A and B are shown apart, each in its own frame.
Chain A
Amino acid sequence: MAHGTAAVAKLDSPRSPYARRKTTRGNYELYSWVFMRASGVVLLVLIFGHLFVNLMVGEGVHAIDFAFVGGKWSNPMWQVWDLLMLWLAMIHGTNGVRTIINDYATRDLTRGILKGLLLLAFTVVVVLGTLVIFTFDACPADAPAELLASFCTA
């Protein structure tokens, strides 16, 4: 850096009040911190409900098959439930793993590659999951009836 007259001219006057250096990075980390707490509470309700209905009611895990999913997603309430759960859990989880990568991957290149892979996984899973919830057909025409929900043949 040159010690010319231009640099001297930029000096603050002795009486200017102390000002903390303004950050140019915005409040991203603050919002991310708030999001983890807010989404965490919602996810507790969504995931406990999901686990209760899928693992505790009736035969539990043995009751799950294509017809079971067909029955659930024919109800808009479960579509919204699962969509919200997908998005919140993926953002919450991706943000958590981002924090862990930032903590332990010290080389810029390593950190960049890991976060690139994380973003890729996030995008693929969220897009795929969202499409599946909205384009799901509980009664595909070419499938054997015994594999489908009872309302398909009713």
Chain B
Amino acid sequence: MPTAPAGTLYRGREGMWSWVAHRVTGVLIFFFLLVHVLDTALVRVSPEAYNAAIGTYQTPIMGLGEAGLVAAIVFHAFNGIRILLVDFWAKGPKYQKTMLWVVVGLFVVTMAGFLPRHLINVFTGGH
């Protein structure tokens, strides 16, 4: 059975990887937020400028990017609730692994509700 290399605090498995995923999705969402406030600020320039910028969000490639962004947000949100439960619920640490699989399950259900609708909008909608 492989053992963890000596001198590391990283223990792998559900606990570490959910922490890694929380960080990665968090940074991703943060950088999108910076861009998203800047593109929305174009409403103060002119309707044409805003519509041109938002038009690029309505292309298929950006539509797939939005799907990825929503996936990152949904995971970060549900895993954030799991972190709250680990911190404040007496049995939270005991059930942290189980709760990660609940998070994954809720993630799948939420994305199953979102993706078809969004992808149909992206690939068949439009003006």
B77 within 8 A of A: yes
State in angstroms the CA–CA spacing of A105 and B35 once bound together. Answer: 24
* Mask of B4-35 contacts with A, CB within 8 angstroms, 1/0: 00000000000000000001001101100110
Neighbour of B38 across the interface among A55, A66, A125, CB < 8 A: A125
Q: Which residues of A contact B29 (CB under 8 A)?
A: 93
State in angstroms the CA–CA spacing of A61 and B54 once bound together. Answer: 9
Q: Which residues of A contact B117 (CB under 8 A)?
A: 56, 60
B2 within 8 A of A: no
B66 engages A61 (CB within 8 Å)? yes
B33 engages A90 (CB within 8 Å)? yes
A69 engages B30 (CB within 8 Å)? no
Neighbour of B30 across the interface among A47, A48, A93, CB < 8 A: A93
Interface residues of A in 120-148 (CB under 8 A from B): 121, 125, 128-129, 131-132, 135-136, 140, 143-144, 147-148
In this complex, the member of B26, B37, B46, B88 whose beta carbon has the largest number of chain A beta carbons within 10 angstroms is B37
Neighbour of A97 across the interface among B30, B44, B77, B114, CB < 8 A: B30
A125 engages B37 (CB within 8 Å)? yes
Judged by DSSP, the binding face of B is helix
Q: Which residue of A lies closest to B30 (CB)?
A: A93
A59 within 8 A of B: yes
Judged by DSSP, the binding face of A is helix
Q: Which residues of B contact A128 (CB under 8 A)?
A: 37-38, 41
| Chain A interface residues toward B at CB < 8 A | 37, 40-41, 43-44, 47-48, 51, 55-56, 59-62, 64-67, 69, 86, 89-90, 93-94, 96-97, 100, 121, 125, 128-129, 131-132, 135-136, 140, 143-144, 147-148
24 contacts between A and B (CB under 8 A): A37-B83, A37-B84, A37-B88, A40-B77, A41-B81, A44-B81, A51-B114, A55-B118, A59-B125, A61-B63, A62-B121, A64-B57, A86-B37, A93-B33, A96-B27, A97-B30, A121-B34, A128-B41, A129-B40, A129-B41, A135-B44, A136-B43, A147-B47, A147-B48
| Chain B interface residues toward A at CB < 8 A | 23, 26-27, 29-30, 33-34, 37-38, 40-41, 43-44, 46-48, 50-51, 54, 57-58, 63, 66, 70, 73, 77, 80-81, 83-84, 87-88, 114, 117-118, 121-122, 125-127
